[in-house]
C-alpha cells in the first residue's frame, strides 16, 4: 500500500540555520511527490513538486527537495531559515489508484527560534 | 480574489444537528476534493468529484454526503453530527486527475466543533 512517513513530528531550528525535513514514501511505481506548507489557520500551499527529470527540484520561498529513488526519500531543505517559515509541513505522494488521489504524511511542525 | 473559498470558516454546533459546508473554486478546475484534518493534523481524503461525478469515496460514514451542483462547487452535508466529527475540513481543487495528480489548491478550511 502507498504510504508516506515523516519521521520528525516536531523540529526546532534557529533563525538563519539550515533546515532539512525528512520524507520517506512507499510506492509501487515512480511517484509524483509534493511538499505543502500550512501556516497557522491557513490552508495548504504547494512548495514544490517532483514528477520526473532532475531529481533536485526548486520551489518557492527558497526551498528545494531532492528525490532519491534508492532511499525512497524526498527530503525538503532550506539553507537559511526565516522566522516566517514556522509552520506545518506536509509531504505527499500520488497518484493512488486511478483517481489521482494524494496520500499525505502526518506532517512536521517547524518552530524557529530567534 | 480567492481561488478556493469555503464557508463557514468556523462552525460550532451540538451533537445530533445537521450542518453544511460550502466550497467554490474560480480556477477553472474540474476536480474538487474534501479532506479532513484531525486534531493531530493528519490529512485524509474523504471525497473527490470530477466534472460533478463522484470518483473517490473513502470509508466515510454515510452521514456525510457531498454534492456537486457544477464543477465549480462542492458542498459537504453532515447529518446527525457526532463528537468525533470535530475537525478542520478542507476543500481543494485541481486539474483533471487523468493527467496525473496535479497541484491541489486548498481553501482555508472550515473548523467544525461539535459539543
DSSP character at residue B30: S
> What's the average model confidence in pLDDT over A70-76?
95
* Residues in A touching B107 (Cβ below 8 Å): 43
Please tell me whether residue B66 adopts helix, strand or coil conformation.
strand
Strand partners, A4: A25
- Rounded Cα–Cα distance for residues B8 and A67 (Å): 38
Contact B97, A95 (CB under 8 A): yes
pLDDT-derived band at B98 (thresholds 50, 70, 90) equals low
Instruction: Give me the residue label for grid cell 538563519.
Output: A16
- Rounded Cα–Cα distance for residues B21 and B8 (Å): 6
Q: Nearest 5°: CA angle at A104, between A57 and B44?
A: 150
State yes or no: pLDDT of B96 exceeds 80: no
DSSP character at residue A42: S
pLDDT in tens, A26-72: 987 778 899 999 998 888 999 999 988 889 999 999 999 999 999 99
* Residues in B touching A42 (Cβ below 8 Å): 108-109
Q: Among positive and negative, which fits the CA dihedral A50, B93, B95, B31?
A: positive
C-alpha cell at A81: 531559515
Give the pLDDT confidence score for residue A53 in this predicted structure.
Answer: 85
Which pairs count as long-range contacts for A17-20, CB under 8 Å and 24+ apart, including other chains? Answer: A17/A80, A17/A81, A18/A77, A18/A78, A18/A79, A18/A80, A18/A81, A19/A76, A19/A77, A19/A78, A19/A81, A19/A85, A19/A110, A20/A75, A20/A76, A20/A77
DSSP character at residue A60: G
A51 burial type by CB count under 10 A (0-12 exposed, 13-18 middle, 19+ buried): middle
Interface of A with B (CB under 8 A): 32, 34, 36, 38, 41-46, 49, 51, 88, 90, 94-95, 99-102, 104, 106-107, 109
Give the pLDDT confidence score for residue B32 in this predicted structure.
Answer: 92
Give the pLDDT confidence score for residue B50 in this predicted structure.
Answer: 87
State yes or no: pLDDT of B57 exceeds 70: yes
- Average pLDDT for chain A: 91
Contact check, Cβ <8 Å, B103/A101:
no
Amino acid at each position: 500500500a502507498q504510504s508516506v512517513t515523516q519521521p520528525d513530528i516536531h523540529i526546532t531550528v534557529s533563525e538563519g540555520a539550515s533546515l532539512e525535513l525528512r520524507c520517506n514514501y512507499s510506492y509501487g511505481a515512480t511517484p509524483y511527490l509534493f511538499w505543502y506548507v500550512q501556516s497557522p489557520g491557513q490552508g495548504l500551499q504547494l512548495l514544490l513538486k517532483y514528477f520526473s527529470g532532475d531529481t533536485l527540484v526548486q520551489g518557492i520561498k527558497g526551498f528545494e527537495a531532492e528525490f532519491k529513488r534508492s532511499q525512497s526519500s524526498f527530503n525538503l531543505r532550506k539553507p537559511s531559515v526565516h522566522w516566517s517559515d514556522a509552520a506545518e509541513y506536509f509531504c505527499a505522494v500520488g497518484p493512488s489508484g486511478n483517481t489521482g488521489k494524494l496520500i499525505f504524511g502526518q506532517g512536521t511542525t517547524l518552530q524557529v527560534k530567534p | 480574489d480567492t481561488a478556493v473559498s469555503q464557508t463557514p470558516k468556523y462552525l460550532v454546533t451540538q451533537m445530533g444537528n445537521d450542518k453544511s459546508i460550502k466550497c467554490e473554486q474560480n480556477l477553472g478546475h474540474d476536480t474538487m476534493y474534501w479532506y479532513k484534518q484531525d486534531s493531530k493534523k493528519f490529512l485524509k481524503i474523504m471525497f473527490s468529484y470530477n466534472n460533478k461525478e463522484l470518483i473517490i469515496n473513502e470509508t466515510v460514514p454515510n452521514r456525510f454526503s457531498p454534492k456537486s451542483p457544477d464543477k465549480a462547487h462542492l458542498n459537504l452535508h453532515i447529518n446527525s453530527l457526532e463528537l468525533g466529527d470535530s475537525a478542520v475540513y478542507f476543500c481543494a481543487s485541481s486539474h483533471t486527475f487523468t493527467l496525473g495528480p496535479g497541484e491541489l489548491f486548498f481553501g482555508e478550511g472550515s473548523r467544525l466543533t461539535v459539543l
